[in-house]
Amino acid sequence: MFKSKTIRSGGNAKTIKGDKLGNYETAIMYLAPASQSLMGNVCPMAGQAGCELGCLSKAGRAGMFSSIVEARIAKTQRYFKSRETFMADLVKDIAAFVRYCAKKQVKAAVRLNGTSDIQWEVAHPCSRDGVTYTSIFAAFPEVQFYDYTKIYKRAYRSLPSNYSLTLSYSEANPAYADAITKTARETGANVAVVYRSKAHRDSLTGFYWRAPQFDRVVIDGDETDMRFTDPKGVIVGLYAKGPAKRDTSGFVVG
């Protein structure tokens, strides 16, 4: 397990399971989602996508321990108070994680948006070993970064080769759902869909989801969290967990 001020590994059951399959170790950064920090919104599409109520930030240990929530709020407030200082901390922590992975003889993977949706590819310069880079991805070419996102315009950008994005679907807002499906068609980006139950997801896995929105094969997205290893042009099928089981907004399908 790796733990630092900004990222940590070993605390997510799905990443642990997936890491063993691909000789990776995955570190995730967890912030206070949406406007929970009271200093800004790290999930700008949460309202349109209807995902705030069923947010995974309320599942698992974070849903049981207020100290975890408080720590995430404090971390997010540091991000808003001084992005330059925050990025310096992040560079330091990722560099330490790279060294940690090298000692274990595994590859380093990092998911920066564990409970946020920040556009790290723009307006987030950083410095490593005295050299200034346009993004954290350019600063660490040896690291595989990946995220889920509801900010569909990101899929149209020329993203770094070591950064993989998966779009996140929701039927809470028809305009948002249409935008996601349009973006997926035009860019070929994969789309994560949260189904009501594991049984529902499993019934679709390996088959085409022939809904009006999509005609794509569904894969099991819970077998591993390593989205950068997924085949292109698929539906990443997930099933509702924690508060999401009670979601009626349209974020959870079925």
Q: Which amino acid makes up residue 210?
A: R
Residue-wise pLDDT tens digits, 109-125: 999 999 999 999 999 99
Which tens digit of pLDDT belongs to each residue from 27-81? 999 999 988 999 999 999 988 887 766 565 544 444 445 888 999 999 999 999 9
Entry pTM:
0.92
Query: Percent of the chain at pLDDT above 90?
Result: 76
Q: What is the pLDDT of residue 229?
A: 95
The contacts found for 12-19 with CB under 8 angstroms, 24 or more apart, are 12/114, 12/225, 14/222, 14/224, 14/225, 15/111, 15/224, 15/225, 15/226, 17/223, 17/224, 18/223, 18/224, 18/225, 18/226, 19/106, 19/109, 19/226
pLDDT at 210: 66
Identify the pLDDT of residue 63. 47
